[in-house]
Amino acid sequence: MKSSTPKVLHRIGGTTLLGHAVRAARATAAEHVSVVVRHERDRVVEFCSGFDAGLLIADQDDVKGTGRAVECGLEVLPADLDGTVLVTYGDVPLLTGETLVALTEAHTSSGSAVSVITAHLEDPTGYGRIVRDADGHIARIVEHKDASEAERALTEINSGIYAFDAALLREALAQVGTDNAQGEKYLTDVVQIVHEAGRVVSAHVVDDPWQTEGVNDRVQLAELGRVLNRRVCERHMRAGVTIVDPATTWVDVDVTIGRDATILPGTQLLGATSIGAGSVIGPEVTLTDTEVGEGAEVTRAVANLAVVGDGATVGPYSYLRPGTRLGAHGKIGGFVETKNADIGEGAKVPHLTYAGDVTIGEGANIGAGTIFANYDGVAKHHTTIGAHSFVGSQSVVVSPVHVADGAYVAAGSALTGDVAPGQIAVARGRQRNVDGWVERARAGTRTAQAAARARAAEQSTDTDPTPEGPTS
């Protein structure tokens, strides 16, 4: 990956590669799920603890290879474990729980000692090849680097995803050595050992080879991310969501979207975002962990940890920061930024406003260009605007203040005190016009010349006689 981040902690679809693998494993309802760690062990364990506290952690020692990894994984499980053991990988994010369940059912019903998921690829380069016996059962699996030319010509590949009989797995692993090109303890050697012991090794062929694809570099990461996103979009569309252009729409796996919602091009729905039925999102919207109600509209906006109520409108070019709550049928308009703002039902913040640390009551209106000055250089302060109150354009509300229900703040005010119900606050200097200032202070300028012409025209109009009646 050429990265300071461990491979399994790279992300697609809103979670890490390892997170996808753990979810698939949990979907089998397995009694135990263990994660074998080695590279960047502490960072991977930290993720596991936050993602799923019930995971068992197994540390792999200096002996390399998948066979040794499985041995270490078994060591943290009960010594008397029996039944079926599934082995999957932390870098195969498209594998589903349904496929693992199907593998388990096929394994147990066939009485096989080992079952392995396989797939046929047009280009199997880099994958271990499946070598079958005369009866069609798997005789052995040969790694690509150890394969002959004839074996490399085989197109059926080993996914590395297995179902084992637990007791046979322990017994066979004890016989596996490291005599191979890589000096590793291969899990694939278990297959040959079990086959030579006369036990059945079965292939569970999947028609969807993407479920077997692993990630080894950022090109593959992007490709699998694209495939996953296409599948997520298709799932939503089949459930009654209109996604106008899936190619430019990115939807994380944990996003929920209601029926008859419309997602327009250039939209990103990230994290645990939820979209209500009948809402229209986009174009060019990014929502992260944001809740949008039914029938709402969000256009060319960015929101993070925000709530948009039923029938509300947001945008264009709005920025909803964490703690923003817009009530039903409310409005956050163009070039508005909000943070820790609770905007009541039907309230409007239409234009060019910063609203931080503020509660705005239902039906209130905030005029264009208003700034809630919530920070005094040391601490943040909160302001309240009452229900059905009105703040005029180009006002600065210096927090903390309380504007009561049914009050007005005159346009251009710099408000520093409370306003009682029914009052209008006028917090600005009285206008004073100084005659002759331009001629004195800006003499010789075009402004002064324009003023002189305008004054001469006014004087000429004043001296013209007023007609006493209609003219012919």
318-326: long-range contacts (C-beta < 8 A, 24 or more apart)? 320/290, 321/356
Catalytic residue among 137, 144, 351, 402: 351
- The alpha carbons of the chain give a radius of gyration, in whole angstroms, of 34
What is the 3 state secondary structure string of 359-383? EECCCCEECCCCEEECECCCCECCE
Site of tokens 């952690």: 57
| Coil, helix or strand at residue 342 | strand
In a 10 Å sphere around its CB, with 0-12 CB exposed, 13-18 middle and 19+ buried, how is residue 40 labelled? middle
Helix, strand, coil share of the chain (percent; to 5): 25, 25, 45
Active-site residue 204, yes or no? no
Q: State how far the Cα of 330 lies from the Cα of 311, in Å rounded to an integer.
A: 8
Q: State how far the Cα of 449 lies from the Cα of 443, in Å rounded to an integer.
A: 8
Q: State how far the Cα of 460 lies from the Cα of 419, in Å rounded to an integer.
A: 48
Q: State how far the Cα of 1 lies from the Cα of 221, in Å rounded to an integer.
A: 9
Q: State how far the Cα of 35 lies from the Cα of 58, in Å rounded to an integer.
A: 6
Active site members: 351
